[in-house]
Structure 1
Amino acid sequence: MNPGVAVVVDEPGSARLADTAPRAPGRGEVLVRVHACGLCGSDRELFAGTRPAEYVRYPVTPGHEWAGVVEAVGDDADPSLAGRKVVGEGFRNCQTCARCRDGDPTLCTAGYDETGFTRPGAMADTLTLPARLLHVLPDDADLHAAALLEPAACGAAAVLAAQVQPGDRVAVVGDGALGLTALQLLAASSPAELLVIGGGTERAAVARELGADSFRTKDEPVDDVAGRMDVVVETAGASASARTSAELLRRGGRLVLTGIPPEGAAGLDPTDLVVRRLDVRTVFGAPPRAWSHAVRAFALGLLRTEPLITHRRPLAEFADAIALVGSGDPAVGKVLLIP
């Protein structure tokens, strides 16, 4: 196999572009030629050293949001996968513990293990992984757009947990990739009202294009909608976003929390939760059923991710790409690395 290159983060703050030899697929594995890899806040945490120690293993090649084409298939893997466009789940679950057997492999009791954090990721020319983690895409799929199917799968997990019914009044708090993919899946449920609360006005137009009926910023008052929503999906992970989300709900409403807030974030009032009988659910990662939901919606054209991409950079510009992600510039949406 021809040599390739990969981004390697040796330790927090130290990254380099290294020559690598693609690892031939073993039993049950495939070798994927990576076409695009997305960056997110967790990649920035990995580089900065602020990700909890149990959720990263240095040195590591980052990259858990990716799309590519199967180049080689190992023994006992489906040979028809060769040449197919694919995305893949990141969690390397044990498949045998009670949580895995219940269909919740992101809660695997064997311990955390994920592509791009504890295993080599997709910020490289190639990626070798178990074939069981793949989801096959249509032959005409845009692989740059498909690289956003990992955050979309997390959004799908939130939507499935929300159990939205036609005619529900729904709000999404957060206008990042997670929020704007969840928005589209929620819109497909025919809600009576679909509100997005974002960080600023910069993404109002794209939110409306993707299905929002109305948009307001986190700094605008919510008194007129407080206590009205049947379902709120929180994706921002900001200091006050969980509490804001709860304020929007009617009595007996459903709140799905997906964002991971910073230390010291405002908590939910337990008295309020009990008195108003709020149903609070949480999402961490995406189980296979959520991946399947997102991939089907993408294949049908119900989920569009290309409007969320604002920057593309080569692997050699990893440090600049990470700086873009952490810049706070509202003009920066999803940043892709292109091998």
Structure 2
Amino acid sequence: MTAVVVDEPGDFRLADLAPRAPGRGEALVRVHACGLCGSDRELFRGTRPAEYVRYPVTPGHEWSGVVETAGEGVDPALVGRKVVGEGFRNCQTCDRCRDGDPTLCTAGYDETGFTQPGAMADTLTLPARLLHPLPDDADLEAAALLEPAACSAAAVLAAGATVGDRVAVVGDGALGLTALQLLAAASPAELLLIGGGPERAGLAAELGADSFRDKDSVGTGGDPAAPLAGRFDVVVETAGAPTSAHTAAALLRRGGRLVLTGIPPEGATGLDPTDLVVRRLDVRTVFGAPPRAWSHAVRAFGVGLLRTAPLVTHRRPLEEFAEAIELVGSGDPAVGKVLLIPSTPADTEGVP
């Protein structure tokens, strides 16, 4: 198989490797598409924290494909199924795993595409327990975005928005636009998306936003006279920008609920603990997605409540990995989700 291998920061190669046969409890998946995100760019540039990457590595944690081979102990009915898969390789035995939150596994961080071989390759071998089967007619390119959608689902489940709530999403990337759709399914009284610029306003409306505001025109700034400050019951922050958490908190009413999913750079504007206490803000955080969030996203995708195809703007072969990484970090508002398509993508013709 062909695989992208990042040997060290800034240094990658295309390798001709033998696919790893699945062992007991594992499955080999023929990859159809693999998405890129900011963490892949960090991995390539060497800015990802050392404990969250292990070189050399084949990146790729957002992917879709078709099961080609099942190892011993795996249901043979999985062969031929369209699937996506969780990335965290949790121990399953520590207290946090037994509590149902393997993203907090105390055995240490281990994830497909960062410390384990990922999906920027023709095939991927992984524990079958991590797979989520898709409907037979699923669009596999769109399904490659179910990993960020699962993270969004974790945020939405933590937010606990109910019918009639006033809800805002801060950030218009893949996380924000998938969170927007999952929140829209709760029938909020108001659903606002705050984005980086006006270019995403049309897409936001198409995906369920009642209104769109440019981050530079929001004008919360902690000013109680600002029109949006203190207005919302629930705010989900997905941008990870230096000031986005502060903006998100300012949008909340007293007693409102804030969910933070973006990881900001060093020196980001922090939340004021006095403000949190006095206004009794409920702050929750999300890192990755537990199985229940994956199931939520996959179900929403399967019944048409979650549309990810409109987020894809660029497709590149594995050979153009470096160019694709540069697209991800270009800052061009015309660039949405970038997909890498393997040399021999999963052939779904004849798949049930």
Of 230, 233, 236 in structure 2, the residue corresponding to residue 227 of structure 1 is: 230
Identity across the alignment (%): 85
Of 321, 332, 335 in structure 2, the residue corresponding to residue 332 of structure 1 is: 335
Residue 328 of structure 1: CA displacement? 0.6
The aligned residue for residue 58 of structure 2 is: 61
Deviation digits for residues 255-301 of structure 1, max 9, x if unmatched? 00000000000000000000000000000000000000000000000
What is the distance in 2 between the residues matched to 1:86 and 1:206? 27
DSSP 3-state at the match of 2:277? helix
The aligned residue for residue 306 of structure 1 is: 309
What is the distance in 1 between the residues matched to 2:202 and 2:95? 44
2:280 is aligned with 1:283: no
The aligned residue for residue 122 of structure 1 is: 119
The aligned residue for residue 261 of structure 2 is: 258
TM-score under structure 2 length normalisation? 0.95
What is the distance in 2 between the residues matched to 1:226 and 1:304? 30
What is the distance in 2 between the residues matched to 1:151 and 1:217? 22
DSSP 3-state at the match of 2:132? strand
The aligned residue for residue 293 of structure 1 is: 296
Aligned ranges 1:42-121 → 2 under 5 Å: 42-121=39-118
What is the distance in 1 between the residues matched to 2:231 and 2:87? 37
Structural RMSD (CA): 0.4
What is the distance in 1 between the residues matched to 2:162 and 2:308? 24
Deviation digits for residues 54-103 of structure 1, max 9, x if unmatched? 00000000000000000000000111000000000000000000000000
The aligned residue for residue 140 of structure 1 is: 137
Deviation digits for residues 13-64 of structure 1, max 9, x if unmatched? 0011110110000000000000000000000000000000000000000000
DSSP 3-state at the match of 1:310? strand
Deviation digits for residues 88-129 of structure 1, max 9, x if unmatched? 000000000000000000000000000000000000000000
2:246 is aligned with 1:246: no
DSSP 3-state at the match of 2:193? strand
The aligned residue for residue 211 of structure 1 is: 208
**One-letter amino acid of the counterpart of residue 247, structure 2:** T
What is the distance in 2 between the residues matched to 1:306 and 1:328? 21
Residue 153 of structure 1: CA displacement? 0.1
Deviation digits for residues 185-232 of structure 1, max 9, x if unmatched? 000000000000000011110011000000011100242111010000
The aligned residue for residue 349 of structure 2 is: none
Of 184, 197, 203 in structure 2, the residue corresponding to residue 200 of structure 1 is: 197
Q: 5+ residue gaps in structure 1?
A: none
What is the distance in 2 between the residues matched to 1:334 and 1:292? 22
